[in-house]
Amino acid sequence: MCGRFVRKTTALEISDIFSGSLDTAELPISFNVAPTSPILGIINSTGGQSVVNFSWGLIPRWAPDATRAPSLINARIETVAEKPSFRDLIAEHRCILPMDGYFEWKEQLRHDAIKPIKQPYYFSARSQSRYSHKGVLAVAGLWTAWKDPNQSNAEVVYSAVALTTDANDMVSQIHHRMPVLLDPIGVSQWLDIHNVNPLAQIQVVDNDARVVCAVNTKVNNSRNNGSELIEPIDLTKTEAVGELRLF
């Protein structure tokens, strides 16, 4: 978790939702954001919260090149304080990664397939939940700045990683991990530069914080993009092994 997500809320709208300044150009809407794609992030800058632009997939500042970025899109909250790529970022390089929703996959047998397929599911905020920021999910993340040591005139690349935790009962029916979601208080605590122990304040997310639906397998190909990727599909005729209860 998670390898793809949706960004259909604009940078301007994100700045309004999270009461921050807009310090980046607008990014194209995407219903299939993949690793190394440009994404929006929220940081605590000198003048308050700011919406900025990151590349999704952390490039450690000491890395000789950017080849590890696609594999560093997620970091386990249980070990993030120990890993060399992340531990130095917790004190001052925390960020929020706003997502309209994200995808997870479960291998199961469908009525129209002769063998199990990777069935995608789309998770989004339940409107009544405190984890819904006007429909947007706030995912805890870390960021850093990197410059290619092999190029004297290289530009600085700002990259970010999303934090994950053990899945709650609802999510575990599909995947064993889930993003670290923050409510408004959690957002303030995570971005507070004076907060010396932010990891200890992360709370368990309620089962009813999100809604989930099965979606078309077109999302499995990162080249596909469009609102049809998050439209629910009917799996009631699926001859799946085991029954999946969607909360």
Residue positions annotated with a catalytic role: 2, 104
110, 150 Cβ separation under 8 angstroms = no
Q: Give the angle 45-49-50 at the CA atoms, nearest 5°.
A: 80
Q: 73 is written with which tokens?
A: 């899109």
Q: 139 is written with which tokens?
A: 């995912």
Give the span between the Cα atoms of 69 and 96, in whole angstroms.
18
The owner of tokens 């600085």 is: 156
48, 23 Cβ separation under 8 angstroms = no
Instruction: Give me the numbers of helices (H) and strands (E) for the chain, helices first please.
Output: 2, 13
3-state secondary structure 123-135: EEECCCCCCCECC
Question: Positive or negative CA dihedral for 216, 219, 221, 224?
Answer: positive
Q: Can you say how many angstroms the Cα of residue 15 is from the centroid of all Cα atoms in its chain?
A: 17
C-alpha closest to that of 92 among 143, 58, 54: 143
Show the beta-strand stretches assigned E in 66-136.
Answer: 74-76, 94-99, 101-108, 117-125
